[in-house]
Chain A
Amino acid sequence: MLGLSRKTKVSTGASLPVIVGIAAACIFLLVGCLVSNIFAQQTVAGLAQGAIFASLALALVLIYRATEVINFAQGELAMATTYIAYQLTLWHVSYWLAFFLTLVISFVLGAVVYGVLIRPVQHRSVIALVIVTVGLFILIDGLVTWKWGADLKFMPAPFGNNVYHAGGVSFSRQDIGVLLVSILSVILLWVLFQFTKLGLAMRAAALRPAAAALVGIRVDWMLAIGWGLAAVLGAVAGLMTEPSQFLQPTMMQAILLYAFAAAVLGGLESPAGSVVGGLAIGVFLNLIGQYVGYATSELRLPIAFAVLLVVLLLKPTGLFGRRQVRRV
């Protein structure tokens, strides 16, 4: 606390073997796509799924970095905000207007959750925080089921049902749309964090709250904004999940687990890692499902957990994790 121990050399981002590995995987995918139409189709579908995992994983990472807790309610929050969009479309709001309104509502909701539920227990203990997020999970689940019921609901299709043909391969417009929207929101967030004063202040507040306060940053506000942005990312994930999974209170539960695997694969502290991890898991699961006969859809979740376990055993800091060296 007296600041005598400080992190000195922190190795940023991925190490060389990891970068080489990712490049090799990309080349493998590219060659596969050129050789086989089905491979190309499955890769794009996997990327679309992976982009959803990536958005939710990034939301987890944002909150982990700022508050040092895994928000177990992140998926349920995403589900709830998707229901809000659904309610808006019931009121004859057009899909994309409802989409953007929902992002705004999600931001406020995320910030309020931080201010009302998280902040009061933030400095107590990690276990208290975890219990609060688990409680929030149950609360949201109950509220949504009470308000909208547990049966499947359907929203207008955002991207239509068209199929694109390119070089003999057909891609569904929905996959492309989901991929683009998810990646775009991740990129926008990255720009915010990397190139704006607000983003810099948010990073500073998450890294060193005490020092951030001394330069005049309102640390609580920054954390609230971080929770708000995480909720926005979650809403994007929820809304992009709806076209394939449809609306039901359990729609994000499996996806949260994939996102968790993605975040751990990337290194829990690394935003870039969570995105790469999400895309990788999406593609990997799809290709395994296509080419490995006995890996049926029932095995998708166990496979994701196997990935998680292997990462934790072999490289606990994940692909992009930072090794922290402290000099005292």
Chain B
Amino acid sequence: MAALLELADVDARYGPIQALHGVTLSVEEGEIAAVLGANGAGKTTTLRAISGTVRRDGTLRFAGRALHGGPDATARHGIAHVPEGRGTFAELSVWENLRLGAYSRRASKEDFARVQRYFPWIESRRSQQAGTLSGGEQQMLALARAFMQRPRLLLLDEPSLGLAPLLVTEIFRIIRELNEQEGLTVLVVEQNAHIALQLAQTAYVLEVGRVALAGPSAEVQQHESIRRSYLGY
């Protein structure tokens, strides 16, 4: 069976600067895949190439169909992208943020109930302005909003960024729950290689816009250079 998401030889560029050089990766339905790498390796750009927020060439297939068009079209195809900085609508209420998540479909009461199962605190904060939430809460709201999209694939950009270690553990616990209980497929970009490798089944390591290493997390974790560069032992 073909993978849910397949990238073959994908290039991406910001104006004259080429950020991705022939990236090839695939994400199977139901798995968590991680993209690791140093700053500027092209992790964020990989996600942007998938959602169409950057100019890209090459083959991108999602659920057997070619992906093209801008980010709004990608979202309607069933890919939710939580960007760096979370993409929260800070000026709007928590509730409005959730409703926006369900923009391209008809949200039911059940959807909101489901969100509350994973994010119980949201109910009591629904009319709070999203910008006044703490960083961790905003990250959770971004996850909840993406979940309201009922996506087939969730793209997560650095969910641990700027959060205290305890919160990072909590966020990753929820991601795992969504994956195991809801069958949500996740492609996560992380600086924190240690926690990402624990979470993901498959990992890709990017170096200056190229895939330097790919395979099951357990193997990648054992790899000499990964241990030295990213895990520190």
Which A residues are within 8 Å of any B CB, using their own CB? 2-4, 6-10, 12, 197, 200-201, 203-204, 207-208, 210-219
Contacts and interface: CB of A to CB of B under 8 A. Distances in A.
B88 A215 contact: no
A207 B89 contact: yes
A237 to B, nearest CB: 27
24 contacts: A2-B85, A6-B131, A7-B91, A7-B131, A10-B129, A197-B99, A200-B100, A201-B100, A204-B92, A207-B89, A207-B92, A211-B83, A213-B53, A213-B72, A214-B72, A214-B75, A215-B80, A215-B104, A215-B149, A216-B75, A217-B72, A217-B100, A218-B72, A219-B72
A204 B131 contact: no
Contacts of A213: 53, 70-72, 75
A200 to B, nearest CB: 6
A6 B72 contact: no
B178 to A, nearest CB: 17
Specify which of A6, A215, A219 lies most central, judged by the most chain B CB atoms within 10 Å of its CB.
A215
Nearest to B105: A216
Nearest first, the 3 A-B pairs at minimum CB distance are A3-B85, A216-B104, A216-B75
B101 A215 contact: yes
B99 A7 contact: no
Interface string B100-113: 11011000000000
B85 to A, nearest CB: 2
A223 to B, nearest CB: 13
Given A8-B131, A197-B99, A200-B96, A211 B91 contact: no
Contacts of B145: 215
A194 to B, nearest CB: 10
A3 B83 contact: yes
B223 interface: no
B84 interface: yes
B100 A210 contact: no
Interface string B64-92: 00000011100110001101111111111
Contacts of A3: 83-87
Given A207-B92, A210-B53, A216-B75, A4 B85 contact: yes
A210 B48 CA distance: 11
Interface residues of B, number: 30
Contacts of B51: 214
B132 interface: yes
A218 B69 CA distance: 11
Nearest to A211: B87
Contacts of B103: 197, 201, 215-217
Contacts, number: 89
A210 B84 CA distance: 12
A183 B83 CA distance: 40
A214 B83 contact: yes
A211 B53 CA distance: 10
Contacts of A10: 90-91, 129, 131
Contact of A203 (B81, B85, B92, B131): B92
Contacts of A203: 92
A4 B44 CA distance: 13
Given A3-B84, A10-B91, A197-B99, 12 more contacts: A6-B85, A6-B131, A10-B131, A200-B96, A207-B89, A207-B91, A210-B71, A211-B87, A214-B51, A215-B104, A217-B103, A219-B72
Contact of B89 (A9, A12, A197, A211): A211
A216 B70 CA distance: 9
Contacts of B90: 6-8, 10
A4 B149 CA distance: 24
Given A6-B90, A10-B129, A216-B149, A204 B75 contact: no
A201 B103 CA distance: 8
A232 to B, nearest CB: 24
A187 B40 CA distance: 49
Contacts of A218: 72
A8 B137 CA distance: 13
Contacts of A216: 72, 75-76, 103-104, 149
A9 B70 CA distance: 31
Specify which of A7, A9, A217 lies most central, judged by the most chain B CB atoms within 10 Å of its CB.
A217
A196 to B, nearest CB: 10
Contact of A9 (B76, B88, B132): B132
Nearest to A194: B96
A122 to B, nearest CB: 15
A213 B129 CA distance: 21
Given A201-B103, A216-B76, A8 B89 contact: no
